[in-house]
Amino acid sequence: MHDDTPTGLRSNLTSYGDPEFALFLRKAFIKGAGYGDDALDRPVIGIVDTESGFNPCHGNVPQLITAIERGVMLAGGLPISFPTISVHESFAHPTSMLLRNLMSMDTEEMLKALPVDAVVLIGGCDKTVPAQLMGAASAGKPAIQLVTGSMLTGSHRGRTVGACTDCRFFWGRYRADEIDADEIAEVNGRLVGSVGTCSVAGTASTMAAVSEAMGIALPGSASPPAVTADRMRIAEATGTRAVGLARERLTIDQILTPAAFDNAFRVLLALGGSTNALVHLAAVAGRLGYALDLEAFDQMGRETPVLVDLKPSGSHYMEDLHRAGGVQRLMLEIRDQLNLEALTVTGRTLGEELADAPAPFPQEVVRPLADPVHRGGSIAVLRGNLAPAGAIIKQSAASPALLEHRGRAVVFEDAADLAERIDRDDLDVEAEDVLVLRNIGPVGYPGMPEAGYIPIPRKLARAGVKDVVRISDGRMSGTAAGTIVLHASPEAAVGGPLALVRTGDTIALSVSGRSLELEVGEEELVARAAEVADRVRDVPQRGYAKLYVDEVTQAEEGCDFRFLQGNEVVGSVPRRH
């Protein structure tokens, strides 16, 4: 924004051919809602309202808006809320990822259309925060992120439980006949203790943490649970700071710099956060012209141990992390690995904010560097003839014994094939085999669902098998654990090598060697590729789904639409040192 850019109600005037008439008309209509001239002369702070009856992760949004409005008015601004799409993981068919880009477009276009001098983005559920950051990055206005906060934990027969790592744990026990239908029904009502996002290091909590690390959210804002006074105070402070952003014209591109992304990737790794965050950060960075450098990310991972004892890599929950000092406590522990000169929405650098952070105190959730939860880094990048453009594995949540493994492939053609055969007693599968699921990538599904968490075949689960190597071109929930290779790129649906695997082939996984290889000769692979090229796929013929399939990029580019990315590549993140 330039100093001569119109502000307040004078900005983004409707085109009638007469700007003064457009302003006159705009004021006439909004005065009909009871606003006076004094209010209308103040900086206008937009508040993105993502409340939805289908989104319990955002169930506290009305209370957050009230607190934000209070903060805006205390600072002399005019708060005005407006709605956008709201996306929930469990209520979006076929997958929430399909709608993330649509929500980002909604956010971007509303920010461009409305007369707002700064905006507070209220997001929480997995795809909402990245969608808002993507849209805001493209719109280019001053913006500040406020997450809704995590849910409270519940209790089942004396054990603390929380969504959704424990959802998967108990469902796995049910599939293995270790608990009965009555107990699984009982635990269903215990897993989610309140409104708010998942209480573990899933995508929602991870995006909250990396938003704070990037400086696009206030210090201390990532960890307060949704239904606490701390969360409401953060909302009030966010509203107050939004007025400052408007007056200082501190635009989002001044915050989301390469240094900020470096800090985000570092915190993602030290947190043991969701693999999904890598895709989302690639998308946000891509809006600003920065490409994801997987090799640089992998090197950063080798240097960054997991320090937060948080499910699924550890044993605690988000409310425990909040009591332990939150993301600031983690950043203090890895302070020497962060870019402390990065500017934050406070107008101060990350280093300045950490210097004023509460002093550390004894706690068990954030470990010291000398005693990490996992020494090897949480996420590793794999290459090989099965993933020439890369694949990833969350090694901190995998079985150590399976990180170096050769096994026979058992192939599932798509999600429907998996659902039809995975629980059959006659499924030809052993614990040493490698399960392969293809055609669940960005184009293949479409929407790249979280189906990469392939369930343990029922016959193996009943025999006590807890983990097997699994490979797909899809995603996995950040709440899940297992030896699972994800985002194999290019995906099968666009001709990637995963399409060439046949049941009975040998696959070699080496996390230490960062390799993923199909042990089949090149001549045979060429012959198979010719067969695959002749297959006819069903693809959407109309509407948003067609737009998605036609324009979506692969995982390493963020699964964004090509036409939404920055006009040119100006650099890469994380930066190599």
489-514 pLDDT, tens digit per residue, is 999 999 999 999 999 999 999 999 99
Q: Are residues 164 and 29 in the same domain?
A: no
The answer to whether 301 touches 377, Cβ cutoff 8 Å, is: yes
Tell me the residue type at 215. G
According to the model, what pLDDT value does residue 5 have? 86
pLDDT tens digits for range 173-212: 999 999 999 999 999 999 999 999 999 999 999 999 999 9
Rg of the chain (C-alpha set) = 24
Can you read off the two tokens belonging to residue 318? 């988000």
What is the reported pLDDT for 115?
A: 97
In a domain, residue 418? The reply is yes
pLDDT at 3 over 80: no
CB 388 within 8 A of CB 481: no
Question: Are the CB atoms for 60 and 52 separated by under 8 Å?
Answer: no
- What are the pLDDT digits (tens) for 377-392? 899 999 999 999 999 9
Residue 46: beta bridge partners? 80, 119
pLDDT at residue 307, rounded to an integer: 97
Task: For residues 118-135, give the mean pLDDT.
Answer: 98
Last residue of a domain, one of 145, 172, 188: 188
Residue 427: per-residue pLDDT: 97
Supply the pTM of this predicted model. 0.96
The confidence score (pLDDT) of residue 537 equals: 82
User: pLDDT at position 65, please?
Assistant: 98
* 401 and 343 Cβ atoms separated by less than 8 Å: no
Residue 527 pLDDT > 80: yes
Specify whether 180 is located in the same domain as 37.
no
Which single residue is written with the structure tokens 């055969």? 421
Answer whether 429's CB lies under 8 Å from 470's CB: no
Report the chain's terminal Cα–Cα distance, integer Å. 32
Return the bridge partners of 552, or none. Answer: 561
d(CA 360, CA 377): 23
What's the DSSP call for residue 92?
Answer: S
> The domain spanning residue 465 has which CATH number?
3.50.30.80
pLDDT at 1: 54
Q: Where are the beta strands (DSSP E) in 166-227?
A: none
The overall average pLDDT reported for the chain is 96
Residues 520 and 395 in one domain: yes
Position 124 pLDDT exceeds 80: yes
Q: Has residue 351 got a pLDDT over 70? A: yes
Q: What pLDDT was estimated at residue 538?
A: 85
Q: What is the DSSP string of 219-253?
A: TT-SSS-TTSHHHHHHHHHHHHHHHHHHHHT--GG
Question: What pLDDT, on a 0 to 100 scale, did the predictor assign at position 289?
Answer: 98
Q: Tell whether 161 and 31 lie within a shared domain.
A: no
168 falls within a domain: yes
Residue 205 lies in a domain: no
242 in Cβ contact with 118 (< 8 Å): yes
At 514, give phi and psi (nearest 5°).
55, 40
Closest by Cα among 344, 416, 386 to 143: 344
Do 149 and 228 touch, CB atoms closer than 8 A? yes
- Predicted local distance difference test score (pLDDT) of residue 33: 96
What's the token pair of residue 280?
Answer: 């989302």
Residues 388 and 516 in one domain: yes
> Residue 535: its pLDDT value, please?
81
Average pLDDT (50-73) is 98
Q: Identify the CA nearest to 237 among candidates 223, 249, 251, 220.
A: 220
Does the pLDDT at position 376 exceed 80? no
Check whether residue 389 and residue 521 sit in a common domain: yes
| Structural domain that includes position 167 | 154-188
Q: Cβ(219)–Cβ(239) under 8 Å?
A: no
User: How far lies 409's CA from each of 288, 328, 340, 404, 416, in Å?
Assistant: 40, 44, 46, 15, 18
Q: Is residue 60 part of a domain?
A: no
Average pLDDT over residues 543-548: 97
- Bridge partners of 308, per DSSP, are 366
Give yes or no for residue 556 having a pLDDT over 60: yes
**Domain assignment present for 387:** yes
Asked if residues 79 and 239 have their Cβ atoms less than 8 Å apart, the reply is yes
Query: 530 and 398 in one domain?
Result: yes
Measured CA to CA, the distance from residue 284 to residue 265 in angstroms comes to: 12
Q: What is the pLDDT of residue 150?
A: 97
Report if residue 175 sits inside a domain. Answer: yes
Same domain for 161 and 27: no
Over residues 277-295, mean pLDDT: 98
Mean pLDDT of 519-544: 91
The rounded percent of the chain whose pLDDT value lies above 90 is 95
Residue 221 within a domain: no
Picking from 300, 301, 203, 213, the residue whose alpha carbon sits closest to that of residue 260 is 213
Query: Is 488 inside any structural domain?
Result: yes
Say yes or no: 33 and 164 in one domain: no
Confidence of residue 294 (pLDDT cuts 50, 70, 90): very high
| Signed CA dihedral, 194, 199, 203, 208: sign only | positive
User: For residue range 202-243, what is the model confidence (pLDDT) as tens digits?
Assistant: 999 999 999 999 999 999 999 999 999 999 999 999 999 999
pLDDT higher than threshold 80 for residue 425: yes
pLDDT of residue 536: 78
Contacts of 158 (CB under 8 A, 6+ apart): none
Does residue 198 have a cis bond before it (omega within 30 degrees)?
no
HSE-CB for 444 with a 13 A CA cutoff: 31
How many other C-beta atoms lie within 10 A of the C-beta of residue 245?
26
What confidence category does residue 2 fall into, taking pLDDT thresholds of 50, 70 and 90?
A: low
Give the integer Cα–Cα distance in Å for 463 and 563: 50
The CA distances from residue 182 to 163, 165, 167, 366, 377, in Å, are 19, 20, 15, 37, 39
Counting the structural domains of the chain, the total is: 3
Helix or strand holding residue 186 (H, E):
helix 181-188
Q: What pLDDT score does 4 carry?
A: 78
Element (H, E) at 322: helix 318-323
